Amino acid sequence: MNLLSKRTQRIDSSGIRKVFDLARSLKDPVNLSIGQPDFDVPDSIKQAGIKAIQDGHNGYTPTQGLPQLREKMQLAVDAEYGHEDRQVFVSSGTSGGLVLAMQALVDPGDEVILFDPFFVMYEPLVQLVDGVPVLIDTYPDFRIDLDKVTAAITDKTKLIILNSPSNPTGYVPAREEVEALGKLCLEKGIVLLSDEIYRKFDYDGDFCSPASVNPNTLVIDGFSKSHAMTGWRLGMVHGPSEIIAAMLKVQQYSFVCAPQPVQWAGMEAMNVDVTPYVDTYRKKRDRLVEALQEKYEIVKPGGAFYVFPRTPWGTGTEFVAKAIENNLLIIPGNIFSQSDTHFRISYAASDETIDRGIEILLQLA
């Protein structure tokens, strides 16, 4: 008898994790693979977390989150959108929010539209709830083609996922693209899930949330990238009360709540200005793109901390294998896509590491 569920056998372990495992076997690799800030959690946030622990704030909170934090988040969301029906709750990271959204919204056989290339977790999460991923090709410029979206919609379409700024491409759709998509979902009665974990890393001022035109948009955000709190697992979700209530039911029987000390730290995080980090990462982006653009076909990213160049020869898998032979860790594009023509560079690294990576990439081109 097969002990494992069919749903777990339909998905593979993350290809990114395999690269991380490989990194441990290399001596002093030039690591431009990991999507984790290279700066540390700001000290005031650390101290708030330590104080919470020492003050005995170590038990459960309400499933929807610490009231003080939730109130602060709600005020910020209300100030930005002014929707009559937009509720906030605290999730265990944005990944936790994504899991809850799939459980609350997608039934077996429901279709979920993803823009290819897409964040590595989206397709497996859809498959784990027996949904059907429907991929829309956005190559070569990663723009949202509304005609393609319209053509992909069927009577089984339940959800569309937008990630802006994007992982892996760093692409930030123009306001016109985002608003058109938001209005289309509103017209068709399809839930639009907007993954905005990188929204602070918007270098050219182009970021636009579809919630600005579509009040039914479900937004997932968090502190992992903006405040380097990747291991703290603190996220936030806001959207229509009907969806939020369903997600909270699932959270009650799964994650229970986000860790309480981290939620106290989150209140302090909301006071921290991350502009200096964003300015530093804008310079890293420019440093990398300017060095590589003559030898690599690159769509200049508007946000996040990734560049997604086309390989100068071979497939993405072949090119990355050669890079790893030269002690450079990058991620093949087929981890994020049906295509194997590109690769992802993360510039969430020191300038010294970026420069070493540039030197190797110029030699490989």
Q: Using one digit for the tens of pLDDT, what is the confidence trace for 76-125?
A: 999 999 999 999 999 999 999 999 999 999 999 999 999 999 999 999 99
Distance of alpha carbon 333 from alpha carbon 320, whole angstroms: 9
CA distances from 98 to 35, 125, 310, 353, 364 (A): 18, 8, 29, 32, 37
- The predicted model gives 218-244 an average pLDDT of 97
DSSP, collapsed to helix, strand or coil, labels residue 157 as: strand
Q: Which domains does the chain have, with CATH numbers?
A: 6-41+274-364 (3.90.1150.10), 60-269 (3.40.640.10)
Distance of alpha carbon 264 from alpha carbon 48, whole angstroms: 7
Tokens of 12: 């593979």
Distance of alpha carbon 169 from alpha carbon 344, whole angstroms: 7
Cis-peptide, bond into residue 140, ω within 30° of zero = yes
Which ranges in 64-153 belong to alpha helices (H)?
A: 67-81, 93-105, 122-128, 146-152
Q: Is the pLDDT of residue 41 over 80?
A: yes
Q: Using one digit for the tens of pLDDT, what is the confidence trace for 314-362?
A: 999 999 999 999 999 999 999 999 999 999 999 999 999 999 999 999 9
Comparing CA positions, the residue from 200, 173, 355 lying closest to residue 281 is: 200
Distance of alpha carbon 46 from alpha carbon 53, whole angstroms: 11
- The predicted model gives 42-67 an average pLDDT of 98
DSSP element (H, E) containing 31: strand 30-31
DSSP state of 163: E
